[in-house]
Every structure is written in C-alpha cells, then in structure tokens.
A and B are shown apart, each in its own frame.
Chain A
Amino acid sequence: SQQGEEDPQALSIQEGENATMNCSYKTSINNLQWYRQNSGRGLVHLILIRSNEREKHSGRLRVTLDTSKKSSSLLITASRAADTASYFCATDASAGAGSYQLTFGKGTKLSVIP
C-alpha cells in the first residue's frame, strides 16, 4: 500500500517559474525523502528531512515538513527544462533500528516548458 500521496498528480509550468508539490502521509514517520525520476529511469535522491526538522534547503530546493498535519512540500525555484521529471515523496516509518524500508507515493509529474 502507498503511504504518501503527492498533489498535484501533474504540473506544467514555464521555465523560470517556481514549482510546488505536496505530499501527505498517514502514519508517524522517522523521516521523509524526496526523489526525482526521469522517464523510465532510476530514482535520484534529492533531500531528506527528519521528523524533528521543519524546513531544509538544498540549492534550488526547499522542503518543509509539518508532522502535525502529516504533510510535506517540495519547492523548486527558478525551474529549468531539465527539472522535467516525476517527483516522489517517500516515508520511512521503521520502528527502532529498522530496515529503513521506504513507502512511496504515486508521484507528481512536472513538465517545465522552455
């Protein structure tokens, strides 16, 4: 079963605009991660935010986490055509020293138009 649900399912923006994607999840988590996947390829890790963190930045990426609402958002600023991809949130709800098994949402398909 899929824990996370991304919203929107698809997003189309012009190059240079900002893109915001949201993720909601159901159970308590240790951390939440965002991944990017180009068409038909493997996943690239973007950023990890732990349950005791509220915001994290990495280059043009900004991630927020609200554990009270069980939601996260990924903001990509000044988007580029190369940002066109599917973006997935993944949660790790392993208890204790667990396996760090990730549960993914269905993803947001981002299209950046040059």
Chain B
Amino acid sequence: DTGVSQNPRHKITKRGQNVTFRCDPISEHNRLYWYRQTLGQGPEFLTYFQNEAQLEKSRLLSDRFSAERPKGSFSTLEIQRTEQGDSAMYLCASSGTRPGPLDTQYFGPGTRLTVL
C-alpha cells in the first residue's frame, strides 16, 4: 500500500495523560501536514513539515502539542497533559511531485482521540 498511513487508528486516554500519534507519508513525498477535525467541522491546519524542517505552526498548536519529523520520513504528533477538548480526529497528509502535483494533499485515515 503506497498511501498515507496513521497509527493508532483509535486512542482512548484519560485526561492528563500523554499520547503520541504516528504518520507515515507516501514514500516520495517531502511535505507532511497535520490537521485536526472535530465533529461536524472541516479539518483545521495544525502544522507543516518540508523534509525534516517544521516550517509552519497554527495558533491551534498550543505548548502541549509537539510534532517531529526526524530524517524527513515519518512524523509524530505528541499531546501532553491531554484535555477533553483535545478529543478529535487527527489527520495527516502528504504532498510531493510523485504523485503530484505538489499542492495536492493525500490524507491518511486519521487517528481518533477520545479523552475521558
């Protein structure tokens, strides 16, 4: 399968716990994006990587959120001290020239986070 993959698909945690999600982009894509989607809303941009460099962060990304993309391949999104308001679907997308074009983003299946 050459699509974007995300793990885990579902995560249930208690308030105050830390969680980490992983995204594996399409192998030839150098751009990787994280979005968050709450019920009944469209996805909202969180952050963007070009290779290993994190180039943009949304104001939605509070200090409790951190994202990394070591070696410019997979990426992780960590949420520390989770709050009930963090409950959402976390979507990862990638883009590149193959398949392209560069501005077409291919999304993974998402990780659904429930904070109790």
Contact = CB atoms under 8 A, between A and B. Distances in A.
A104 interface: yes
A2 B102 CA distance: 22
Contact of A42 (B42, B45, B101, B110): B110
Given A99-B55, A101-B33, A45 B44 contact: no
A61 interface: no
A103 interface: yes
A30 interface: yes
B31 A42 contact: no
Interface range for A: 20 to 34
A44 B107 contact: yes
Contacts, number: 66
Interface range for B: 20 to 34
Interface string A86-113: 0010101000000111111111000000
Contacts of A88: 42-43
A40 interface: yes
B91 A104 contact: no
A42 B106 CA distance: 9
Contacts of B43: 43, 88, 102, 104
A106 B105 contact: no
B109 interface: yes
Contacts of A33: 104-105
Interface string B73-111: 000000000000000010101010000011111111110
B42 A100 contact: no
Contacts of B45: 101-103
Interface in B16-64: 31, 33, 35, 40-45, 48, 50, 55-56
Contacts of B35: 102
Nearest to A4: B42
Contact of B91 (A43, A92, A101, A107): A43
Max count, chain B CB within 10 A of own CB: residue among A2, A48, A88, A101: A101
A30 B104 CA distance: 12
A31 interface: yes
Interface of A: 2, 4, 30-31, 33, 35, 40-45, 48, 88, 90, 92, 99-107
